[in-house]
């Protein structure tokens, strides 16, 4: 009996001992567990005392290495010796000189890049902005410089909050250290952090930020931007005037090599266009009346990373396509949707923000999926009506591909909002956009009797190179798609055949002034260039080489047959 009692006591003691150990373990691990892993926390979480000391030391070390005034006024900055060499290496790895960024003050002062006359506008908006900055594995100093620039350049009464959205970064410094920085260095500012547990891609990450925003206006920024003086006022004022206006600042370049803030002068800027391959492009302002304007200018599309939109309007007009993954396409989707469904997109010349343009993505994508292609296929199906044919000529593999996903909701949205057709958009918003098979004299393959076709030889759309000759493909591929435009250009989307030195034929940017870019297609199939009084010829041209112009004669080498001829133009 006694023995039994002693044994029981021992068991009790053991149990209690184990219990105590478990409790201790729980307490210890909860101390050390990074708080941000626990939840999609909306307020940055308090950093524990132990970690505080570590972070404080890290930040002090970091701050002591900052070189005062480096990069001030947005001037190019340079480091010497090993730092310079490390910077070069970093540039290759991150597409950004991270070494330099880490040594530059986080609150560097930029010069005012605006046109002087912008100061004459007396903006006095009553609206407040929620600035939403999304990031995935960005450099901490670059993210913080973005935050600082917003704080320094936005009057307090116009700034409701800054919302940082961490799209499940794996970079350690963006976790507790960032929280600690905000808690200690930017305590008095309203900054929230949304921590996403599993990477959502930039589209859904922006949505997460928008969901908790409380300001009247949402302003989205990439996490490597610097706002400049007076950037917010004209955006908010314009939205106050018209809540359906979605606005883009002039996006200046922060050089990835030396962090210089560089502009294209203070009057010239471009607006957004698109290519049929589904990419955003910069285009010149077409209408004379809009050139050199300082008030908002119509823009057919936007780049996507930096824009302001009234918060309720953002939701009313369909926010984003939540089924878009990763990166890309959402900018054109939103651009088309805004115009087609009753809003407008404008560039605001008196608002300027710098953006670090990187040569490549310093991050990888889960599953290596072509999210840009898939997302663009989605938007093509929903918004582009029959004009999607051009996109799918570039991406035939995506046309009937289930990978594109279900589109029911987006199509319903388009109906619900009674959005206009894509043709309306082209006619009214972007009339200068070249449509390869509309209002043209001829289009398709231009073939000779020897089954050889004009071919761009895979020349990039912004490059200059020979107008080539290649075996005709059995189907109409984009590389062999040429048109004779109403203006008499022999062209592709943005490049036109031009005669050089009276002999050579090159594809080069269409300039619209005709001369050596002017061609006449005769009934007998000859393509004549009046400026040099010669005809396009394939005589003696090898497969994959450039065609030329020669004196016109009745020759099989000078006869071209287009797939389609339009007699009505
Ligand atoms: O999975 C990801 N999750 C993210 O949160 C991948 C990226 N991101 C973040 C990233 O950290 C960055 O802050 O998303 C932001 C944009 O990514 P970038 O900077 O790599 O994109 P980008 O500047 O090369 O690309 C442009 O096109 C994109 C298309 O999806 C987005 O719309 C970007 O916001 C957009 N950037 C701009 O418009 C800035 C001007 C550039 C131009 C032209
Ligand atoms: Mn960017």
Ligand with minimal distance to 223 CA = 1
Structure-token match 């048109």, residue found:
483
**φ, ψ of residue 240 in degrees (nearest 5):** -60, -35
| 165 CA from centroid of ligand 1 (Å) | 13
Specify which residues 507 forms β-bridges with.
465, 497
Cα Rg of the chain (Å, integer): 29
Q: Is the dihedral of CA 59, 62, 65, 68 positive or negative?
A: negative
Residue whose tokens read 């059995």: 474
Ranges under pLDDT 70 in the chain: 1-13, 15-45, 568-569
Report the separation in Å between the CA atom of 328 and the middle of ligand 2, taken as the mean of its atom positions: 11
What is the Cα–Cα distance from 398 to 194, expressed in whole angstroms? 34
Structure confidence at residue 558 (pLDDT)? 97
Q: Which residues pair with 80 in a beta bridge?
A: none
| Placement of tokens 């289930």 in the chain | 402
Residue 93 CA: distances (Å) to CA of 76, 89, 111, 360, 514: 20, 6, 30, 9, 45
Residue bearing the CA closest to ligand 1, atom 25: 305
In a domain, 141, yes or no: no
CA distances from 462 to 93, 264, 392, 480, 496 (A): 27, 19, 20, 17, 11
Nearest to 168 by CA among 131, 201, 132: 201
Query: Would 57 be classed as within a structural domain?
Result: no
* pLDDT of 447: 97
Residues 6+ apart with CB under 8 A from 326: 201, 202, 203, 365, 366, 369, 371, 372, 375
Q: Which of 219, 226, 303, 367 to mutate to test the pocket of ligand 1 (most atoms within 8 A of CB)?
A: 303
Residue 212 lies in a domain: no
Residue 484 in any domain: the answer is: yes
Residue with tokens 């500012």: 189
CA of 229 to the centre of ligand 1 (A): 23
pLDDT of amino acid 336: 98
Asked, for residue 106, whether it belongs to a domain, the answer is no
How many Cα atoms are found within 13 Å in the side-chain-facing hemisphere of 149? Answer: 32
125 C-alpha to ligand 1 centroid (Å): 28
Is residue 142 lining ligand 1, measured as CB closer than 6 Å?
A: no
Residues with CB under 5 A from ligand 2 (ion): 222
Output the domain CATH number for residue 457.
2.80.10.50
**Which residues is 353 bridged to in the sheet?**
227, 251
Distance 222 CA to ligand 1 centre (A): 6
Nearest CA, atom 38, ligand 1: 305
Q: Is residue 530 part of a domain?
A: yes
> Measured from the CA of 331, which atom of ligand 1 is nearest?
32
Report the distance separating Cα 362 and Cα 284, nearest Å.
Answer: 30
Tens of pLDDT along 190-205?
999 999 999 999 999 9
From the CB of 201, is ligand 1 less than 6 Å away?
Answer: yes
CA distance 176 to 180: 6
Q: Ligand 1, atom 39: nearest CA belongs to which residue?
A: 305
* Residue whose C-alpha is closest to residue 231's, from 105, 122, 348: 348
Distance 207 CA to ligand 1 centre (A): 14
**472 falls within a domain:** yes
Output the six-digit token pair for 490.
Answer: 């022999």
Tell me how many domains the chain contains. Answer: 1
378, 324 Cβ separation under 8 angstroms: yes
Let me know if residue 11 belongs to a domain. Answer: no
Contacts of 491 (CB under 8 A, 6+ apart): 434, 482, 483, 484, 485, 497, 510
Cβ of 251 closer than 6 Å to ligand 1, yes or no, is yes
Q: Do residues 96 and 142 make contact, with C-beta atoms less than 8 angstroms apart?
A: yes
Q: Residue 375 has which token pair?
A: 């997302």
Going from the Cα of 143 to the center of ligand 1, the distance in angstroms, rounded, reads 13
Q: What phi and psi, each to the nearest 5 degrees, are found at residue 255?
A: -70, 130
The whole-model pTM stands at: 0.91
Write down the residue that tokens 């009745």 correspond to: 554
Report yes or no: 388 and 381 within 8 Å, Cβ to Cβ.
Answer: yes
Q: Please choose from 96, 195, 202 the residue to mutate so as to test ligand 1's pocket, defined by most ligand atoms within 8 A of CB.
A: 202
Q: Which domain holds residue 482?
A: 440-565
Task: Say what the pLDDT of residue 337 is.
Answer: 98
Residue nearest to atom 14 of ligand 1 (CA): 202
Cα distances from 127 to residues 309, 344, 532, in angstroms, run 11, 19, 60
């Amino acid at each position: 009996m006694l023995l039994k009692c002693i044994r029981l006591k021992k068991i009790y003691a053991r149990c209690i001992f184990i219990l105590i150990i478990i409790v201790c373990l729980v307490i210890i691990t909860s101390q050390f567990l990074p708080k941000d892993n626990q939840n999609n926390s909306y307020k940055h979480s308090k950093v524990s005392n132990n970690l505080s000391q570590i972070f404080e030391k890290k930040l002090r070390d970091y701050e002591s290495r900052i070189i005062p005034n480096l990069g001030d006024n947005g001037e190019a900055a340079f480091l010497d010796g090993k730092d310079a060499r490390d910077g070069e290496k970093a540039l290759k790895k991150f597409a950004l000189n991270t070494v330099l960024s880490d040594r530059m003050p986080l609150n560097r002062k930029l010069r005012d890049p605006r046109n002087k006359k912008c100061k004459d506008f007396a903006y006095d908006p009553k609206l407040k902005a929620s600035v939403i900055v999304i990031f995935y594995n960005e450099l901490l100093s670059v993210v913080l410089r973005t935050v600082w620039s917003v704080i320094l350049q936005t009057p307090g009464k116009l700034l409701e909050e800054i919302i940082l959205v961490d799209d499940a970064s794996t970079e350690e410094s963006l976790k507790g250290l960032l929280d600690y920085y905000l808690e200690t260095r930017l305590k008095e500012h309203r900054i929230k952090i949304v921590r996403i547990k599993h990477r959502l891609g930039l589209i859904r990450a922006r949505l997460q930020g928008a969901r908790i925003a409380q300001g009247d206006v949402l302003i989205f920024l990439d996490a490597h931007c610097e706002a400049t003086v007076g950037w917010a006022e004209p955006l908010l004022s314009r939205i106050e005037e018209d809540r359906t206006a979605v606005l883009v600042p002039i996006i200046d370049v922060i050089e990835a090599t030396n962090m210089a803030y560089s502009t294209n002068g203070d009057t010239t800027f471009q607006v957004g266009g698109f290519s049929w391959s589904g990419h955003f492009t910069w285009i010149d302002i077409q209408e004379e009346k809009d050139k050199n304007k300082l008030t908002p200018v119509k823009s057919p599309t936007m780049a996507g990373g930096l824009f302001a939109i009234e918060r309720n309007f953002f939701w009313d007009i369909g926010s984003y396509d939540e089924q878009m993954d990763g990166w890309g396409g959402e900018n054109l989707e939103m651009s088309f949707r805004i115009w087609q469904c009753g809003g407008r997109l404008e560039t605001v010349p008196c608002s300027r923000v710098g953006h670090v343009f990187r040569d490549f993505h310093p991050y990888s994508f889960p599953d290596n999926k072509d999210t840009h292609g898939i997302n663009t296929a989605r938007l093509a199906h929903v918004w582009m009506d029959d004009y999607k044919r051009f996109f799918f000529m570039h991406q035939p593999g995506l046309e009937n591909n289930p990978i594109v996903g279900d589109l029911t909701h987006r199509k319903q949205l388009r109906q619900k909002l009674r959005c206009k057709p894509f043709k309306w958009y082209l006619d009214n918003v972007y009339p200068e956009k070249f449509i390869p098979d509309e209002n043209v004299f001829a289009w398709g393959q231009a073939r000779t009797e020897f089954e050889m076709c004009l071919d761009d030889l895979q020349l990039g759309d912004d490059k200059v190179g020979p107008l080539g000759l290649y075996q005709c493909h059995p189907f109409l591929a984009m590389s062999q798609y040429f048109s004779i435009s109403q203006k008499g250009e022999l062209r592709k989307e943005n490049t036109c055949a031009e005669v050089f030195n009276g002999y050579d034929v090159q594809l080069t940017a269409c300039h619209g002034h005709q001369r050596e870019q002017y061609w006449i297609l005769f009934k007998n199939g000859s393509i004549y260039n009046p400026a040099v009084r010669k005809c396009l010829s394939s005589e003696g041209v090898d497969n994959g080489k450039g065609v030329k112009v020669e004196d016109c004669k009745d020759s099989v080498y000078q006869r071209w047959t287009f797939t389609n001829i339009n007699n009505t133009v």
